Amino acid sequence: MRAQIVAFLRAGGDFEQTALQLYRWQRAHNTEYDRFCGAAQPTRWEDIPAVPASLFRDLFLTCFDPAAASVCFETSGTTAGRPGRVRLLDTEVYDLSARLHAERCLGLVPPRAISLVPTDDHSSLGHMCRHLSPETRPFFSSETGVDAPGAWAALRAATAPVFVPTTALALVDLLAHGHDPVALPEGSILMLTGGFKGRRRAVDPEDLLQRLSRHLPGCRIVGEYGMSELSSQLWAVPAGERFVPPPWLRVLAVDPWTGTGQTSGQLRFFDLANHQTVLAIETGDQGTVHPDGSVTLEGRLPGARPRGCSLSVEEARAR
Q: What is the rounded distance in angstroms from the CA atom of residue 134 to the CA atom of residue 130?
A: 5
Quick check: bond before 238 cis, omega within 30? yes
pLDDT at 203 (0 to 100): 75
Task: Verify that 104 and 208 share a domain, yes or no.
Answer: yes
pLDDT band at 302 (very low <50, low <70, confident <90, very high): confident
Residues 199 and 230 in one domain: yes
Residue 221, in any domain of the structure: yes
Alpha carbon distance 219, 277 (integer Å): 37
Q: Where in the sequence is the domain holding 209, given as residue range(s)?
A: 93-241+305-318
How far apart are alpha carbons 123 and 135 in whole angstroms?
17
The CA distance from 285 to 304, in Å, is 8
Q: Are β-strands 280-289 and 261-262 bridged in parallel, bridged antiparallel, or unpaired?
A: unpaired
Q: What does the pLDDT read at residue 108?
A: 94
- pLDDT tens per residue across span 220-278: 999 999 999 999 999 999 999 999 999 999 999 999 999 999 999 999 999 999 999 99
Position 253 in a domain: yes
H helix count then E strand count, the chain: 9, 16
- Specify the DSSP class assigned to residue 276: T
Characterize the bridge pairing of strands 145-146 and 163-167.
unpaired
pLDDT digits (tens, 9 = 90+) for 10-32: 999 999 999 999 999 999 999 99
Same domain, 226 and 252: no
Do 106 and 232 sit in the same domain of this protein? yes
Q: What is the pLDDT of residues 118-160, one digit of tens each?
A: 988 899 999 999 999 999 999 998 888 899 999 999 999 999 9
For residues 280 and 184, membership in a common domain is answered with no
